[in-house]
């Protein structure tokens, strides 16, 4: 199975973001993961539209934008305009999931939906025909560097079963506490996109860290 590695710039050296993006690209990263936090949906604040725009000018890789924000309907078009290729909203952040996923697709991006650790996979059965990516949070969203939540493994397996049942090509992405050890386990459970912040940008050698993550599959 082809795996996608998406380093999260939340853990990057922001003063040297251009260099960090280049290192990720040279190390073989597939996507760049950008965590947008609003201090409302999650208790932390991180990046907004201008940062996504800056990253767009610093890499050719697809931008995987993870919106941990309330009222995502107000911002989806703006993030698309500045170059987001994949836009993921949280299931818990909107009562109009179907409409917003459809909007993301109409704007020409891949439409992702993310689940907090306490939100069951079954909440996605009614959007499974339109969603392009399911992001299973393997920590509670808000910060990098947290410990992987164990029952996530069972949840990834459930998600893989659901995706295989519908027979569509849907990415299963995991985010939070992904390192060489947990990566092997989430891949075995059925994930195929690894988001990694601390284990990539927290490492002395970003290129090597990405290569090692890819090698866990072998």
Point out the residues that are catalytic. 35, 175
Q: Which of 12, 42, 66, 153 binds Zn ion (CB under 5 A)?
A: 66
Q: Which residue is nearest to ligand DX5 (CB)?
A: 197
Shortest distance (Å) from residue 182 CB to ligand DX5: 9
Among the residue ranges 50-58, 78-86, 89-97, 172-180, the one whose residues contact Zn ion (CB under 5 A):
172-180
Q: Which residues contact 5 (CB under 8 A, 6 or more apart)?
A: 28, 29, 30, 31, 193, 194, 196, 210, 213, 214
d(C-alpha 155, C-alpha 161), whole Å: 10
Q: State the binding partner of 87 from ligand DX5, Zn ion, none, CB within 5 to 8 A by kind.
A: none
DSSP string across 34-67: EEEEBSSSSS-B---HHHHHHHHHH-SSPEEEEE
DSSP string across 118-173: TS-GGGGGGGTTT-SEEEEESS-TT-SSPPPPTTHHHHHHHHHHHHHHHT---EEE
Residues near ligand DX5 (CB under 6 A) are: 8, 10-11, 33, 35, 66, 139, 141-146, 175-178, 195-199
User: Which residues inside 17-56 make contact with Zn ion, applying CB under 5 A?
Assistant: 35
Q: State the binding partner of 90 from ligand DX5, Zn ion, none, CB within 5 to 8 A by kind.
A: none
- Select 32 or 216, whichever has its Cβ closest to Zn ion: 32
Q: State the binding partner of 47 from Zn ion, ligand DX5, none, CB within 5 to 8 A by kind.
A: none
d(C-alpha 46, C-alpha 148), whole Å: 21
Using CB under 5 A as the binding rule, whether residue 64 contacts Zn ion is answered as no
- Calculate the alpha carbon distances from 75 to 65, 67, 78, 150 in Å: 12, 9, 5, 33
Shortest distance (Å) from residue 95 CB to Zn ion: 22
The phi, psi pair for 208, rounded to 5°, reads -65, -35
Shortest distance (Å) from residue 38 CB to ligand DX5: 12
Shortest distance (Å) from residue 197 CB to Zn ion: 8
- Select 106 or 215, whichever has its Cβ closest to ligand DX5: 215
Give the interface with Zn ion as residue ranges (CB under 5 A).
Answer: 35, 66, 175
């Amino acid at each position: 199975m082809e795996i996608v590695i998406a380093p999260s710039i939340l853990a990057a050296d922001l003063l040297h973001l251009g260099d960090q993006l280049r290192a990720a690209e040279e190390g073989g990263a597939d996507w760049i993961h950008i965590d947008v936090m609003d201090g409302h949906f999650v208790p932390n604040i991180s990046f907004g539209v201008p940062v996504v725009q800056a990253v767009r000018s610093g890499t050719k890789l697809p931008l995987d934008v993870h919106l941990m924000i309330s009222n995502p309907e107000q911002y989806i078009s703006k993030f698309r305009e500045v170059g987001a290729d994949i836009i993921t909203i949280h299931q818990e952040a909107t009562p109009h999931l179907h409409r917003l996923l459809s909007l993301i697709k109409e704007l020409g991006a891949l439409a992702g939906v993310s689940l907090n650790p306490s939100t069951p996979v079954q909440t996605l059965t009614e959007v499974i025909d339109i969603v392009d990516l399911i992001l299973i949070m393997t920590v509670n969203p808000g910060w990098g560097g947290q410990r992987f939540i164990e029952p996530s493994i069972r949840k990834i397996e459930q998600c893989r079963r659901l995706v295989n049942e519908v027979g569509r090509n849907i990415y299963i992405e995991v985010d939070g506490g992904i390192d060489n050890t947990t990566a092997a386990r989430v891949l075995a459970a059925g994930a195929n996109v690894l988001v990694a912040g601390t284990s990539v940008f927290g490492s002395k050698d970003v290129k090597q860290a990405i290569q090692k993550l890819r090698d866990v599959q072998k």
